[in-house]
Amino acid sequence: MTPAKYPVLMRLLHWLMAITILSIIASGWYMAGLSKDVSYKYDIYPWHKSFGILVLLLVVIRILIRWFSKVPELPKGLPNREKVLARITHYSLYALMILVPLSGLTMSDAGGRDVFFFGIQLPEFMEDNKELAGTLHTIHSYIPYAFLAIIALHMVGALKHRFMDKPENDVLGRML
């Protein structure tokens, strides 16, 4: 028998991380767009980095919990193409929860910047390499927005099944 709902820890992590990730995307977009003359621009960076690293830690815990948990199956009545789309979306979200913060972290490290996790300085784990840092900067300037697009698709899917589908195809209730 599969459970009716996701385990409570997975539900908590899902919503905590969703709020955190959306706030980090907004903060990143805002701080990167500020002119260098704005006095508080670089006060935002350490918070962005700390919460970004927190996401990286939490996603590892989340994947481990997922691995060892029983989760509800997708509704039987869903058309196959929607099941496939849901699975691809979920895998992509897990991958991006790793790749987006990792690109930010490696960009900062390769660029020779000190990285602090809520005030604790992290050890350097890469040689300084300006060229690599530049490439990672380009990656980190784009993939968060690809992430946002997939999050939007994911939300539209969840809301569609809730409000525009048969009640037995609702999946939101299992995550609330």
Residues of this chain that interact with ligand HEM (CB under 6 A) are: 14, 18, 21-22, 24-25, 28-29, 32, 45, 48-49, 52-53, 55, 66, 71-72, 74, 86, 90, 93-94, 97, 100-101, 104-105, 108, 115, 140-141, 144, 151, 154-155, 158-159, 171-172, 174-175
Rank residues 74 and 126 by Cβ distance to ligand HEM and give the closer one.
Answer: 74
The two three-digit tokens of residue 150, written as one number: 């997939």
Q: For the CB of residue 111, give the shortest distance to ligand HEM in the complex, in Å.
A: 8
Nearer to ligand HEM, 61 or 172 (CB): 172
CA distances from 167 to 50, 74, 102, 140, 161 (A): 40, 13, 39, 39, 8
Contact of 161 with 85, CB cutoff 8 Å: no
Q: How many helices (H) and strands (E) would you count in the chain? A: 5, 2
Query: Nearest distance from residue 136's CB to ligand HEM, in Å?
Result: 10
Element (DSSP H or E) covering residue 101: helix 80-110
Q: Shortest distance, CB of residue 61 to ligand HEM, whole angstroms?
A: 13
> How is residue 109 annotated by DSSP?
H
The nearest distance, CB 108 to ligand HEM, in angstroms, is: 4
Distance CA 110, CA 139 (A): 14
Taking the least distance from each CB to ligand HEM, the nearer of 66 and 165 is 66
Nearer to ligand HEM, 84 or 172 (CB): 172
Q: How far is the CB of 70 from ligand HEM (least distance, A)?
A: 11
Cβ closer to ligand HEM: 14 or 165? 14
Q: Buried (b) or exposed (e) across 106-142, using 16+ Cβ within 10 A?
A: bbbbbbeeebebeeeeeeeebeeeeebbeebbebbee
